[in-house]
């Protein structure tokens, strides 16, 4: 685990009323930052297919971010997504502040943490441990992670769920839906309901630590003895529905390999290993870790291995869906437009009755994004402008209403996973032989 800088503990709002109050305050901070001109701009863009062009100041963004970090749960998850794609709302300075949400949430104060542990382990819970570090090594939207050592010498990472987060998911999503519609976060005619319902289901899944323990063990069995990866073991005797105990592992988030202290060879090797793993997940395991957050992959420089974390969003994939993705990959590999159209309809990317211009626009986007598959040898993401071209074209299509068909939630989550692998290769400026890795699965 990487260590986060200390941050003052803040009690997690655990009742529906308190969470609604904090969300209302966050909305007030947002409105104050936008100002009258910004509100007029929002009203205008809600009636059109354009993204809004409002800008938030760093000061108001910091207040907004602190409020989301305090709430955790679904609200913070929304902020994390906004921070990854906020170019239409945030200035570069404000976007940098928002990026803190991807690193850590505010930890619980010690008294609240002790209360959670007492409810899960019973009175005298500390007798189970030789050492327990109250300062978390990581803190995210659902829970925080603490380092501990048992009396029999096991070095553990304890993932401890924030109180009230599980019970607040539905009300948080409902409140966020209201906020999104009020602020015009999508263009006219775009129905956010399928996306919000998908987020609702995923958050309920992520809050079930018992199910995550099952996924962690199943995934570990799939990875097996692969020398590039380490999957922590679950310790069932200290795991509950709200505490997940696993092996403690050292490492830094894999995107840190982009820093100057790491070699091109290390970056290429890590990007290649994780891209290969993504293909194995889909075509071999039938179990995909669908959350592409870079913090879920820790690089251990001593061993050269990548530690795999956070299986709350693990997605079982049936053989029928795997075959449909195989057909799309074959079509993209062969640059066959007719086959791409058929595969896109089968996957629900477009409908059979959608206007031809919308279908053609999607196929053009697929052809563009699959360029690395058709590139001979290693594709150099460090010199390519592919991401910028795909990003610009995708946003243009979204805001023009070209995506009138909404794919099934599992398809959207898989798409997010593949985009995450793509973004990591770009972030690391890696050279990866995507076509060579994919060919055996076709």
Quickly list DSSP for 137-175: SEE-SSEEEEEEEETT--EEEEEEEPTTHHHHHHHHHHH
Taking 70 as the pLDDT cut, the residues of the chain under it are 1-62, 64-65, 67-106, 179-192, 398-399, 401-406
In the chain, the number of structural domains is: 2
pLDDT score at 405: 67
Q: Is the dihedral of CA 93, 95, 101, 104 positive or negative?
A: negative
Residue 114, in any domain of the structure: no
Within this chain, do residues 286 and 404 fall inside the same structural domain, yes or no?
Answer: yes
Residue 435, in any domain of the structure: yes
Tens-digit pLDDT profile for residues 359-398: 999 999 999 999 999 999 999 999 999 988 988 888 777 6
Within this chain, do residues 276 and 414 fall inside the same structural domain, yes or no?
Answer: yes
Tell me the residue range of the domain where 407 lies. 262-442
C-alpha of 52 from chain center: 24
Within this chain, do residues 301 and 438 fall inside the same structural domain, yes or no?
Answer: yes
pLDDT score at 161: 93
Residue 254, in any domain of the structure: no
Place of tokens 């896109």: 344
Within this chain, do residues 80 and 195 fall inside the same structural domain, yes or no?
Answer: yes
Alpha-carbon span 128 to 204, nearest angstrom: 29
Residue 266, in any domain of the structure: yes
Q: Say what the pTM is.
A: 0.81
pLDDT score at 160: 96
Within this chain, do residues 63 and 188 fall inside the same structural domain, yes or no?
Answer: yes
Residue 134, in any domain of the structure: no
Tell me whether residue 226 is one of the annotated catalytic residues: no
Within this chain, do residues 341 and 195 fall inside the same structural domain, yes or no?
Answer: no
Tens-digit pLDDT profile for residues 284-304: 999 999 887 888 899 999 999
Residue 243, in any domain of the structure: no
Residue 400, in any domain of the structure: yes
Within this chain, do residues 201 and 267 fall inside the same structural domain, yes or no?
Answer: no
Helix ranges, 159-230 (H): 165-182, 193-206, 209-223
Within this chain, do residues 291 and 440 fall inside the same structural domain, yes or no?
Answer: yes
pLDDT score at 102: 58
Alpha-carbon span 103 to 293, nearest angstrom: 10
Within this chain, do residues 350 and 275 fall inside the same structural domain, yes or no?
Answer: yes
Residue 181, in any domain of the structure: yes
List the catalytic residue out of 268, 291, 354, 433.
Answer: 291
pLDDT score at 351: 86
Within this chain, do residues 306 and 434 fall inside the same structural domain, yes or no?
Answer: yes
């Amino acid at each position: 685990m990487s260590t986060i800088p200390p941050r003052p503990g803040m009690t997690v709002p655990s009742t529906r009323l308190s969470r609604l109050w904090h969300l209302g305050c966050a909305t007030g901070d947002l409105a104050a930052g936008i100002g009258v001109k910004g509100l007029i701009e929002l009203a205008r863009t809600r009636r059109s297919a354009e993204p809004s062009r409002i800008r938030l100041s760093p000061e108001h963004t910091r207040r907004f971010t602190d409020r989301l970090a305090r709430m955790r749960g679904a609200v913070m998850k929304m902020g994390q997504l906004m921070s990854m794609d906020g170019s239409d709302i945030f200035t570069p300075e404000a976007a940098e502040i928002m990026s803190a949400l991807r690193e850590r949430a505010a930890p619980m104060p010690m008294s609240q943490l002790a209360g959670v542990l007492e409810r899960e382990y019973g009175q005298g819970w500390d007798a189970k441990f030789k050492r327990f570090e109250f300062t978390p090594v990581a803190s995210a939207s659902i829970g925080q992670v603490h380092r501990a050592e048992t009396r029999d010498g096991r070095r553990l990472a304890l993932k401890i769920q924030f109180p009230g987060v599980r019970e607040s998911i539905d009300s948080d999503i409902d409140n966020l839906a209201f906020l999104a519609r009020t602020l015009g976060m999508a263009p006219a005619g775009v129905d956010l309901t399928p996306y919000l319902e998908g987020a609702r289901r995923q958050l309920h899944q992520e809050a079930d630590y018992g199910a995550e323990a099952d996924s962690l063990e199943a995934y570990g069995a799939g990875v097996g003895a692969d020398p590039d990866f380490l999957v922590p073991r679950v310790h069932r005797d200290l795991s509950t529905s709200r505490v997940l105990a696993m092996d403690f592992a050292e490492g830094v988030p894999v995107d840190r390999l982009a820093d100057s202290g790491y070699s091109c060879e290390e970056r290429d090797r890590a990007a290649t290993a994780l891209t290969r793993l993504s293909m194995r997940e889909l075509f071999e395991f039938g179990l995909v870790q669908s959350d592409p957050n870079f913090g879920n992959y820790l690089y251990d420089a001593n061993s050269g291995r990548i530690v795999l974390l956070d299986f709350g969003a693990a997605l079982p994939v049936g053989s029928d869906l795997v075959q449909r993705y195989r057909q799309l990959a074959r079509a993209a590999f062969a640059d066959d437009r007719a086959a791409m159209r058929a595969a896109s309809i089968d996957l629900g990317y477009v409908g059979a009755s959608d206007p031809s211009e919308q279908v053609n626009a999607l196929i053009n986007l697929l052809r563009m994004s699959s360029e690395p598959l058709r590139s001979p040898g290693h594709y150099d993401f460090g010199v390519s402008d592919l991401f910028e071209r795909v990003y610009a074209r995708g946003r243009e299509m979204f805001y023009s209403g070209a995506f009138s068909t909404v794919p099934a939630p599992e398809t959207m989550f898989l798409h997010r996973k593949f985009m995450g692998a793509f973004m990591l290769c770009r972030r690391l400026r890696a050279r990866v032989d995507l076509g060579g890795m994919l060919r055996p699965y076709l």
